[in-house]
Amino acid sequence: MDGARRSALAALLEHPRYEVAPTAGVPDGVGHLPAGATVAVTASPRRGVAATVELAEELAARGFAAVPHLAARGLRDRAELAELLGRLTAAGVRDVFVVGGDAREPAGPYADGLALLRAMEDLGRPPRVGVPSYPDGHHHITDDVLWADLRVKQFHADYTVTQLCFDADLVGGFVAEARRRGIDLPVVAGVPGVVDAARLLRVSVRIGVADAARFARSHRSTAASLLRPGRHTPDRLVRGLAAGGSDLAGLHVFTFNQIEPTVRWLAEARRAAA
């Protein structure tokens, strides 16, 4: 690896965001994270928004930069939204991530992320707000709608995080297309951490990264590695992102709550890039 690529890789690895799910073991697992790390907490349809906010409050109290995911379709009403935003402000949380949510039917008046973003503007939104984007497409929403949605959301948000994607060229193409369409939000690339390979393949298909056949065709080397026993590491993907010269604002690492091996891998990757 030449000096320029090594420098680009080092910069990309410098301040990653770590994503965790609000489950019982996470408060112990985050002890492996670097002090002051940025930790995003996913929205859980089964556990509800309360679990996400409670974990974000705990993380903030422990000195982490917590970023709770607020799922539009999981919120009952404006009063609940105001209460949650008040709690997060009191806890020192300065960054939230707005998603539509996976609930089949909205629990209240917010059918999608844009509706929630607009409601937050009325209530006084946090200093930083993030929104998702989809280099690999979305299994329920057409590309035209996704682009139109992101173009409007940029006026209510400060950055976007890409959905899990295994193709560095696809991420680079997404960033270039966003800029061509007049979308200038900073793009944080979503990458898997060090995760059990079979589990990552199941999750990838379930969340709609791609249907199984298309995934195998378009991500041959990744699909092959995910079909082997053991853990998948994002080395090739992250090196590809750095080599592509894309205008990326950093990495968002999906840990799937396998925090310790992911932190260890990142430390080793930083040393190798230094």
Which residues, 6 or more positions from 123, have their beta carbon under 8 angstroms from its beta carbon? 78, 81, 82, 85
CATH topology of domain 3-194+233-268: TIM Barrel (3.20.20)
Confidence at residue 195, expressed as pLDDT on a 0 to 100 scale: 83
Confidence at residue 164, expressed as pLDDT on a 0 to 100 scale: 86
Confidence at residue 111, expressed as pLDDT on a 0 to 100 scale: 95
Confidence at residue 138, expressed as pLDDT on a 0 to 100 scale: 83
| pLDDT per position as a tens digit, 74-127 | 999 999 999 999 999 999 999 999 999 988 899 999 999 999 999 999 998 899
State the Cα–Cα distance between residues 224 and 195, nearest whole angstrom: 15
Q: Which long-range contacts (CB under 8 A, 24 or more apart) does 140-147 make?
A: 140/208, 147/177, 147/181, 147/183
Q: What are phi and psi of 115, to 5 degrees?
A: -60, -40
| pLDDT per position as a tens digit, 2-28 | 778 888 999 999 999 999 999 888 888
Helix (H) / strand (E) element for 119: namely helix 113-123
Is it the case that residue 210 has pLDDT exceeding 50?
no
Average pLDDT over residues 224-250: 79
Domain limits of the chain? 3-194+233-268, 197-231
Local structure of residue 72 (DSSP, 8 states): G
Q: Which long-range contacts (CB under 8 A, 24 or more apart) does 80-83 make?
A: 80/49, 80/108, 81/110, 81/116, 81/119, 81/120, 81/123, 82/123
